[in-house]
Amino acid sequence: MNKLTDRSGMALIIVLTMSMFLLVIAVSYIRGNAQSRPINERHFERAQADFLGQGVVQFAAMKFKKRPAEFYYAYRAMRAGLGDAALRAYLNDDTTLNNEFVDQEGQRYEYFTQMQLITNKLYETDGIRIQVTVNQLSDTGTIVLTRVQEHVIEAKRRPL
């Protein structure tokens, strides 16, 4: 009876120790695996936001092509200190340049457009800088990520 008491339980201790060791390895592996998924998801959303930004840049370029004078008037009036009502009407109130896009998965993206006149007198060039900011929104409307697309349309000034 005494001999049995001395020997018994050792295998159990060894097995339990090994089991604990394996469990720790498995848990750490599963945790690491679980953490890798959100990076993958954000990779998709970053790319989607960038593509939306590129598309909206095209819309802004098209607007400038169709209504260049109205932009110049609005921008120069703002720079002359006459208020920014015309520029806000041109940029901020435009529903094509500022809107929301919902993808097939139901993910919401909002985008805003800014345009800026960049003039270089030394090189006799005029340019328009188009900047589109795309935010990916959560279900509650908070911003999850922000991506910015910028494009400059540059042209040599015509001699007077």
State the residues that interact with another protein by CB under 8 A: 3, 6-8, 10-12, 14-16, 18-19, 22-23, 26, 29-30, 33, 36-37, 40, 43-44, 47-48, 51-52, 54-56, 58-59, 61-63, 65-67, 69-71, 73-74, 76-77, 80, 82, 85-86, 89-90, 93-97, 101, 103-105
Length of the chain: 160
CB-wise, 73 or 140, nearer to another protein? 73
For 151: left if phi > 0, alpha if psi spans -120 to 50, otherwise beta; the answer is: beta
Q: How many CB atoms lie within 10 A of CB 57?
A: 19
| HSE of 20, CA atoms in CB hemisphere, 13 A | 6
Smallest separation (angstroms) from another protein to the CB of 101? 7
CB-wise, 95 or 140, nearer to another protein? 95
Phi–psi pair at 25, nearest 5 degrees: -60, -45
CB-wise, 1 or 11, nearer to another protein? 11
